[in-house]
Structure 1
Amino acid sequence: MKILKRLLKIIFALIGVLVLTGVITLWLDSLGTSYLRINKNEPTSNDSYLIINVNIIPMNKDTILIDKMVYIKEGIIEKIADSIRVKGIEIIDAKNKYLTPGLIDMHVHVWDKYELGLYLSNGVTAVRNLWGMPMHLRIKEDVIKNNIFSPEFFTSGPKLTGRVFIGDDNLNITNPSEVKEMVISYKNRGYDFIKTYYGLDKDIFDAVIEQAKISETDIVAHPSQKVPFSYHLNPQIKSIEHAEEIVQQPLQFDLDTIKLQPIIDSIALSNHTSYCPTITVFNNIYQMMIDDSILDSESLEFMNPLIKKVDSKNQFDRWFNEKQKDSNVVSRIKNQHDFHLAIVRKLHKAGVNIVCGTDAGIGITLPGFSIHKELKFYKECGLSNYEVLKTATVNASKTHSIMNSMGTIEVGKMANLLLVDENPLLALSTLENPTYVFVKGRKLNRETLDFYNEKAKNRKNLMASALRYLENLIFEK
């Protein structure tokens, strides 16, 4: 009996040490991102400005408003005119510069707060996180309360799958009766969307759609192979993710543009569903296959260390091994990437609302930086610069009603803005290095944005990230 008591004391002591170690690890990690905190007593907390002599790319139509003034009051665009008089306010002279709406990345996976700074430094002022975990609700609360500098933050709940286990990161539903309580719970807890995923059976999918409609919650769909592709054109589903899913499911890897056209037509006819191609993340498979040293590249220093050690490495190993087994796999991946570009061309020609998403945060797809690669692919598809920019501004903002306050420069809209040196309708590359980023009207200069990059580079928070993922496995299963 004494031995048992002693053993229990040792076990409880070890548990206590582990818990304390975990708490300290997470606390230290939170200190590491304290540079993002908004100090209400510092000038950077100011959210009211008068911008003068600026050329505006409003994005509600294909035009430039030359030499205007913009009055930002408490984070909202109050007035746009040739002349505005306001007393006691900081004036920003933007002569020869261009003001555009901030960019929106509609498909990301956020792993830590460092990534929020990476998005801002690349002109991304709103993100749609599609791998919901408890830590994302805490980030969202900090953003809503204006505690941190961050893009506007929208997040789905955990990924919903069917009865077959396809990974510990997915939430398996075995019975449609579970769905109602689950969807209601996610909405009550603060998740913005329902994310349906690969492997969702028809009866469960029906239950998700039914309850999402009752709960007035939008669905974002990674297509499930358990139902016809047309099933994802339900009005409750506001966007479909990944061009490769068209290849993998309705086309069964047959890269046939004739067979593709009816699929494109059906998406266009739905008239309520956006499409998020995420060309970049698939192209990065090709990049891994042609560059054996890519995991050691400087750019990968911006990836979360847990993701780099686990997911980046696993993906690289998978495709490296495929390449050893089959010499034709590299050309097949390249051909499929080229076919994805054809899909985007046809979606655009058919009038489908294309929204820009990158799938950043997994594999080797970098947070923030990747949006510029994605936009270049749309340009390669034949879209004009204005049409490309629409995918990451106005098109994205009209996908969900909760995002309608962004995406254009108009009176009453949120002041999520970029001030850039060149006209992006002529040079999209100017978006990669904004002079100022305004998020809810708060101004971040280039020096601050570069500092955010440096803080995120080679960060040492692998254990903290692992603990947050463990929290998800414990509390969301």
Structure 2
Amino acid sequence: MAILILVMVVAVAGIILIDRSQTAYLDVDSNPEFAPNAYLIRHVNVVPMTSDTVLMDQMVLIREGVIAGIADTITEAKAEVIDANGGYLSPGLIDMHVHVWDKYELGLYLANGITTVRNLWGHPMHLRMKEAINQEAVIGPLFYTSGPKLTGPEYIGDDNRQLFTPEEAGSKVVEYKERGYDFIKTYNGLTRELFDAIIAKANALDVDIVAHPSANVPYRYHFRPEIVTIEHTEDIVQQPLEYQLDTAKLSEVVDWYAAHPTTAHCPTLVVYHNIYRLLTEADILNAEELNYMNPLIRAVDSKAQYDRWIGTKANDSTLVGRIKNQHDFHLYSIKKLHERGVPIVAGTDAGISITPAGYSLHQELNFYTQAGMSNYEALQTATINPSRTHDFLTNQGSIEVGKVANLILTENNPLEDLDVLKNPELILVRGRRIKRETLDTFKQKARNRNNLLVSALRYAENLVIEK
């Protein structure tokens, strides 16, 4: 038995070491391109996102990972010059609702111009990932994560932390803050008693809450100062509207949001629309974009979602139409929320179902323009709007002196065509420059990666530690 255990330990260690070697391309020390430097970007048109404008033919100075100057002329002899040749400099994008499964996805986010992510299903591996990024040992988007999802006693599943008493609920808030998680995620199934305990403790500890609405309390209950964002437009339909596409009831929900301007809405439209794709695209599980999904998620969750919806479709001839109608109602809901000035922050639920890291944010922004936003307004949801939610995001989201140098350089103006953000000429993350060729390599490395077993080991680690 001892020999068997030893063999298993050695095997697990070997699998982890192989995975580390395969993702070494993200190690800062092994790639001179990621070395910190001072940069002077010349002949660049700045999209500051502080207003709907472009500052033409500017110079931007980057020093120690921060924007140090923006002017017509800057003299800086000790900075490496980057000639933008009339390109456009925008703030790095922020995806406010993702599920990260491996380091490869860090490269995918960067390759898509996403320089900050908010991970909403915390595992122990995410604390290690966050530490490596913060210590600048690994190149990746700025990384913030919730703890495990908090739910009530009847919500059984290995993806949730069930709570049974208010004392336990409060203690989990304390524990997750002490362990280094950045905020709390509440989930469906929380009772009022449990939710009250979480909110009280979060308030006492100055910890933010992100809420997947719980059907066990009224939807209006979620408008609390401690809750900075409410997730998922689909839950507006499923909870206060009781699955009815009722415009009058929607107006009431919009009024609730408008009366609580410190609470932002995170739509995640793309992940719901992907249900429609599962139902209507016969070969969807072999789509090119799914080659960039984590292989464990692709084998388990993507397949399970496909089987679930195709099975339901077989017994319900109205399903496809109802899903499409609800998606269209989501667009209408975003239009009405936006018209009332409700803060909207872009989030995708990337990492589950058939929603790959990085690519999905561009789809999400496209849905916002379909809902009536201008390109500038849609871009706000992934830049300046997130910076107004958590304190840890205030130094991002716009191009201003003193802000973190998370930047995207594109050949053309994103305010005219958001799609130019899909393939940046280069990005800067904390002032570290990454060129287009390297970003393309990040995509290639992540495509059809072979890390199913190590992903399963890390998921098993989560089950052991969190249960």
2:244 corresponds to 1:254:
yes
Structure 1 residue aligned with 2:169? 179
Q: What is the distance in 1 between the residues matched to 2:31 and 2:155?
A: 50
Q: What is the distance in 2 between the residues matched to 1:21 and 1:206?
A: 45
Structure 2 residue aligned with 1:238? 228
Structure 1 residue aligned with 2:330? 340
SS in 1 for 2:89: strand
Q: Which runs of 5+ in 2 are unaligned?
A: none
Q: Conserved in 1, the CA contact under 8 Å of 2:43 and 2:85?
A: yes
Structure 2 residue aligned with 1:301? 291
SS in 2 for 1:270: coil
- The range that moved more, 65-74 or 164-173, is 164-173
Structure 2 residue aligned with 1:446? 436
Q: What is the distance in 1 between the residues matched to 2:300 and 2:31?
A: 41
**In the alignment, residue 202 of structure 1 is paired with which amino acid?**
R
Q: What is the distance in 1 between the residues matched to 2:37 and 2:268?
A: 33
- The range that moved more, 82-91 or 194-203, is 82-91
- 1:47 Cα deviation (Å)? 3.4
Structure 2 residue aligned with 1:218? 208
Which of 51, 55, 60 does residue 70 from structure 1 map onto? Answer: 60
The ranges of structure 1 where at least 4 consecutive aligned residues each deviate by more than 3 angstroms after the TM superposition are none
**In the alignment, residue 421 of structure 2 is paired with which amino acid?**
L
2:124 corresponds to 1:113:
no
2:89 corresponds to 1:99:
yes
Q: What is the distance in 1 between the residues matched to 2:129 and 2:436?
A: 24
Q: Report matched runs for 1:242-391 at 5 Å.
A: 242-391=232-381
2:125 corresponds to 1:135:
yes
2:32 corresponds to 1:48:
no
SS in 1 for 2:259: helix
Q: How many residues align?
A: 467
Partner deviation per Cα, 1:255-288 (whole Å, 9 max, x = no partner): 0111110111101111110100000000000001
Q: Conserved in 2, the CA contact under 8 Å of 1:48 and 1:442?
A: no
- 1:350 Cα deviation (Å)? 1.0
SS in 2 for 1:95: coil
Structure 1 residue aligned with 2:141? 151
Q: What is the distance in 2 between the residues matched to 1:155 and 1:32?
A: 24
Partner deviation per Cα, 1:322-376 (whole Å, 9 max, x = no partner): 1111111000000000010011001101111000000000000010000000000
Q: Conserved in 2, the CA contact under 8 Å of 1:274 and 1:352?
A: yes
Q: What is the distance in 2 between the residues matched to 1:377 and 1:338?
A: 10
Q: What is the distance in 2 between the residues matched to 1:269 and 1:150?
A: 37
- 1:179 Cα deviation (Å)? 2.1
- 1:401 Cα deviation (Å)? 0.7
- 1:289 Cα deviation (Å)? 0.4
Q: What is the distance in 2 between the residues matched to 1:47 and 1:362?
A: 36
Partner deviation per Cα, 1:170-209 (whole Å, 9 max, x = no partner): 0000111112221111111110010000101110000000
TM-score (norm 1): 0.97
Query: Which of 1 and 2 has greater Rg?
Result: 1
Partner deviation per Cα, 1:370-397 (whole Å, 9 max, x = no partner): 0000000000001011100000000011
Q: What is the distance in 2 between the residues matched to 1:89 and 1:272?
A: 40
- The range that moved more, 399-408 or 42-51, is 42-51
Q: Conserved in 1, the CA contact under 8 Å of 2:19 and 2:454?
A: yes
Structure 2 residue aligned with 1:17? 7
Structure 2 residue aligned with 1:434? 424
Partner deviation per Cα, 1:285-305 (whole Å, 9 max, x = no partner): 000100121101221110000
Which of 403, 426, 445 does residue 393 from structure 2 map onto? Answer: 403
Q: What is the distance in 2 between the residues matched to 1:257 and 1:47?
A: 53
Partner deviation per Cα, 1:115-157 (whole Å, 9 max, x = no partner): 0000000000000000000000000000110011100000000
Q: What is the distance in 2 between the residues matched to 1:55 and 1:46?
A: 24
Q: Which runs of 5+ in 1 are unaligned?
A: 1-9
SS in 1 for 2:86: coil
SS in 2 for 1:419: strand
Structure 2 residue aligned with 1:7? none
- 1:40 Cα deviation (Å)? 7.4
Q: What is the distance in 1 between the residues matched to 2:80 and 2:283?
A: 48
**In the alignment, residue 392 of structure 2 is paired with which amino acid?**
I
- The range that moved more, 18-27 or 276-285, is 18-27
Q: What is the distance in 1 between the residues matched to 2:181 and 2:320?
A: 39
Q: What is the distance in 2 between the residues matched to 1:53 and 1:411?
A: 18
**In the alignment, residue 262 of structure 1 is paired with which amino acid?**
E
Q: What is the distance in 1 between the residues matched to 2:440 and 2:405?
A: 21
Report percent identity of matched pairs.
Answer: 54
**In the alignment, residue 335 of structure 1 is paired with which amino acid?**
N
Q: What is the distance in 1 between the residues matched to 2:56 and 2:402?
A: 20
Partner deviation per Cα, 1:411-469 (whole Å, 9 max, x = no partner): 00000000001111111111111101100011111100000000000001001000000
SS in 1 for 2:385: helix
**In the alignment, residue 101 of structure 1 is paired with which amino acid?**
P
- Cα gap change, 1:136 to 1:291, in 2 (>3 Å): same
Q: Conserved in 2, the CA contact under 8 Å of 1:47 and 1:440?
A: no
Q: What is the distance in 1 between the residues matched to 2:131 and 2:284?
A: 36
Q: What is the distance in 1 between the residues matched to 2:320 and 2:88?
A: 41
Structure 2 residue aligned with 1:463? 453
Q: Conserved in 1, the CA contact under 8 Å of 2:33 and 2:433?
A: no
Structure 2 residue aligned with 1:89? 79
2:48 corresponds to 1:58:
yes
- 1:46 Cα deviation (Å)? 2.5
**In the alignment, residue 21 of structure 2 is paired with which amino acid?**
L
- 1:161 Cα deviation (Å)? 0.2
- 1:21 Cα deviation (Å)? 1.3
Question: What's the RMSD between the two structures over aligned residues?
Answer: 0.9
Structure 2 residue aligned with 1:4? none
**In the alignment, residue 289 of structure 1 is paired with which amino acid?**
L
- The range that moved more, 465-474 or 182-191, is 182-191
